[in-house]
Amino acid sequence: MSATIIDGKAFAARIRGEVAQHVTRLKDEHSITPGLAVVLVGEDPASEVYVAAKHKQTVEVGMASFERRLPADVSEEALFALIDELNADPNVHGILCQFPVPDQLDERRVVARIDPAKDVDGLSVVNAGLLASGEKGLVSCTPLGCLMLLRDQVGNMSGKEAVVIGRSNLFGKPMGQLLLQENCTVTIAHSRTQDLAAVCRRADILVAAVGRAEMVKSDWVKPGATVIDVGITRIPHPEKPGKSKLLGDVDFASAAEVAGAITPVPGGVGPMTIACLLANTLTACCRANGFDEPEGLTA
């Protein structure tokens, strides 16, 4: 194995440590505690796990965590009333609604109801537009996490060929915009891209966000490239009955022989997402109070 393994778990811990320091300063110097509100509709078991992890890490960095639960059959009107209440609450600087939501609710309308200045998931049309225009907004957490890993690993990305596989609003499009801001030459590939392997082989920076296990083979990787694997596919564990195993979009073992640096799955991009949610909440709090943004924690 020749590639440097990018340790997202350690990096995320570092980011959370930086966030915690800023939180302490805000409390000590200004008596302000950044607050994150998470809205959970229904009792989806996977969502319960994510919400619990977010709560734990929010409290660990010293922020206030407001968890608001609504029944699975909640009306749009009642959900919007709660979001309006959180939008108006000065102690709440970040709001996210855990997705998926039940069928009677429309995710786009839910996101649109959240004040863009508190949309710490960065999913609103307003924040997507600000990113596309090169203006300051809140950036979707997973692409922001990948950007932080890349800045740390690659340093100056100017002029590099970057290929992002996947064009979702959640990940691929904002990732492409962020790489463009770093002055990369960006290609966003997707299911209709012709000769994807050849497109990927051009990449100095290859970011895969598809959700197809081990799709990216070693001969798709340019020697020395930095490979960021966002994809997550859960399969039954081959050796541990009843347990599951996570696979990325990249055939890790073979790609690591060719790449210069690569993120593993798990332990690569995954831990960065909540760390960046906390970073975004801190940023939103600083902006709301007219303070300087935390350096190194924004796009």
Q: Choose between 156 and 194: whose C-beta lies nearer to ligand NAP.
A: 194
CA dihedral defined by 37, 40, 45, 49, rounded to 10 degrees?
0
Taking CB under 6 A as the criterion, which residues in 19-78 touch ligand NAP? none
Name which of 182 and 229 has its Cβ closer to ligand NAP.
Answer: 229
Stretch in the footprint of ligand NAP (CB under 6 A) among 80-88, 159-167, 235-243, 289-297:
159-167
- Binding-residue pattern over the window 166 to 195 for ligand NAP, x denoting contact by CB under 6 A: xxx-xxx----------------xxxxx--
Q: Which of residues 190 and 237 has its CB atom nearest to ligand NAP in the complex?
A: 190
Question: Which residue out of 57, 118, 119, 121 is catalytically annotated?
Answer: 121
54, 118, 160, 173: which one is catalytic? Answer: 54
Dist CA 101 CA 79 (whole Å): 11
The beta-carbon contacts of 102-107 under 8 Å, at least 24 apart in sequence, are 102/41, 102/42, 102/72, 102/73, 102/74, 104/73, 104/75, 104/76, 105/41, 105/74, 105/76, 105/79, 106/76
Shortest reach from residue 140's CB to ligand NAP, in Å: 9
Q: Where in 223-252 is the site for ligand NAP (CB under 6 A)?
A: 230-232
Q: By the 8 A CB rule, do 104 and 79 touch?
A: no
217 is catalytic: no
Q: Where are the beta strands (DSSP E) in 92-240?
A: 94-97, 161-165, 185-189, 205-208, 226-229, 233-236
Which x/- pattern, by CB under 6 A, does the window 192-211 give for ligand NAP? xx--x------------xxx
- In whole angstroms, the minimum distance from the beta carbon of 98 to ligand NAP comes to 13
Tokens of 222: 């340019």
Bridging pattern class, strands 233-236 and 244-247: antiparallel
Per-residue CA distances from 157 to 8, 25, 147, 184, 204 (Å):
19, 32, 10, 6, 9
Binding residue for ligand NAP, selected from 142, 226, 263, 281, defined by CB under 6 A: 142
Give Cβ neighbours of residue 113 (< 8 Å, ≥ 6 apart).
79, 80, 83, 84, 87
**Closest separation in Å from C-beta 30 to ligand NAP:** 32
Shortest CB 269 distance to ligand NAP, Å = 4
Nearer CB in complex with ligand NAP: 68/167:
167
Q: Which residues pair with 35 in a beta bridge?
A: 64
54 is catalytic: yes
Q: Are 157 and 150 in contact (CB under 8 A)?
A: yes
Minimum CB distance to ligand NAP smaller for 104 or for 191: 191
Catalytically active residues are 54, 98, 121
Site residues for ligand NAP per CB under 6 A: 142, 165-168, 170-172, 189-193, 196, 209-212, 230-232, 269-270, 273
